[in-house]
Amino acid sequence: MFDIEDIRAQWAKQRPDIDTGPMGLIGRVVRLSTLYSEQMGKTFAKHGLTAASFDVLATLLRSGPPHALSPNQLLATMMVTSGTMTNRIDQLEKDGFVARVPNPQDKRSVHVKLTASGIRKIDAAVSDHVVVQKRLVEGLSELDQSELNTILDKCLSSFADR
């Protein structure tokens, strides 16, 4: 893996007129995101899940009993198209982890509900996921983590105005 500072040094030689500070920062964030995603993906795969299926099941679990949401409510928490969401739900239903049930407030629509099998699957996956996440940040003190969260929140909030 090529070091980010080596890349910046190459740019400094080729284009000394440009400021590569942001390139270094963004490169680190992107590289870290990729590495984190790879490690978490291994945990999901161990449970027969993908990041996408984990996301749907975890969203339903954390919504609390009865662990059911409308497809639109699921869509609101994920950055995917409705077609992609339908495919995810179809696959999870085929696997027996969710069921489409009538919406108690509107019989013309459905809710996506975790099945008992889905609850067992996501409970186990979430337990392992949290352990992996803790391992991924163990090199940072609690203060480091708090400060980094504050800085990253600042970065994320800059997009709220756009």
Say if residue 149's pLDDT is above 90: yes
Residues 89-114: what's their mean pLDDT?
92
Residues 90-118: what's their mean pLDDT?
93
Q: pLDDT digit string (tens) for 28-78?
A: 999 999 999 999 999 999 999 999 999 999 999 999 999 999 988 998 888
Residues 20 and 97 in one domain: no
Count other Cβ atoms within 10 Å, centred on residue 137.
13
Residues 1-14: what's their mean pLDDT?
88
Residue-level pLDDT at 162: 64
Residues 104 and 35 in one domain: no
**If DSSP codes are grouped into helix, strand and coil, which group holds residue 98?**
strand
Residues 30 and 3 in one domain: yes
Percent of the chain with pLDDT over 70: 98
**If DSSP codes are grouped into helix, strand and coil, which group holds residue 106?**
strand
Tell me the backbone φ, ψ of residue 112, rounded to 5 degrees.
Answer: -100, 125
Residues 90 and 27 in one domain: no
Residues 88 and 15 in one domain: no
Count other Cβ atoms within 10 Å, centred on residue 68.
20
Residues 41 and 60 in one domain: no
Length of the chain (residues): 162
Residues 18 and 65 in one domain: no
What share of residues in the chain are helix, strand, coil (percent, to 5)?
65, 10, 25
Residues 18 and 98 in one domain: no
Say if residue 161's pLDDT is above 80: no
* pLDDT range class, residue 80, cuts 50, 70, 90: confident
**If DSSP codes are grouped into helix, strand and coil, which group holds residue 68?**
strand
Residues 60 and 96 in one domain: yes
Residue range(s) defining the domain that contains residue 33: 1-46
What CATH number did the domain enclosing 99 receive?
Answer: 1.10.10.10
- The count of domains in the chain is 2
Residues 130 and 104 in one domain: yes
Nearest one of 35, 49, 17, 56 to 132, comparing CA atoms: 35
Place of tokens 């699921």: 74
Residues 64 and 14 in one domain: no
Residues 141 and 119 in one domain: yes
